[in-house]
Amino acid sequence: MPLKNRAHAVGSLDERIGIYNATDTENADYSSTETFTLTKTVWANIAYRSRRQLERIMSGKETALQQVSFFIRKPEGFSVTTKSQVQYDGETYDIITIMKDVGRRQYWELITELKT
């Protein structure tokens, strides 16, 4: 059950995820390389957004996408943006939207797509 429906339930944040923020590094040839560094490990509630896969056409191919919502406590002492990534269970998820102040303004919903 998504956290939206049980925001007040103790123990609903029961999975550990890593929040990774992007850093641009300038190379010797003045090109830029984007790297991701672990910013914070937090507890989360995970909700798969739909049973059916979303589809997107990339490079002429139809690609199935899995959207997942990660509900976390409102960040204090670290930042989360749409340039950040979530790592969970060995998979990397790109953050596509951040819904702030969910559930009595205590939580954020990070809407993500499984990175392919």
Number of domains in the chain: 1
pLDDT of residue 12: 86
Q: DSSP letters of the chain?
A: --GGGSTT-TT---EEEEEEEEEEEE-TTS-EEEEEEEEEEEEEEEEES-SSPEEEEETTEEEEE-EEEEEEEPPSSS---TT-EEEETTEEEEEEEEEEEETTTTEEEEEEEE--
Average pLDDT over all residues of the chain = 82
CATH number (domain holding residue 32): 2.40.10.270
What average pLDDT score do residues 106-115 get?
90
User: Residue 34's domain spans which residues?
Assistant: 3-114
What average pLDDT score do residues 3-15 get?
63
pLDDT of residue 25: 83
pTM of the model: 0.77
> Is residue 58 very low, low, confident or very high in pLDDT (cuts 50, 70, 90)?
low
Q: Which is more confidently placed, 85 or 4?
A: 85
pLDDT, tens only, 18-56:
999 998 888 888 888 889 999 999 999 999 876 455 555
pLDDT, tens only, 59-77:
566 566 788 999 999 988 8
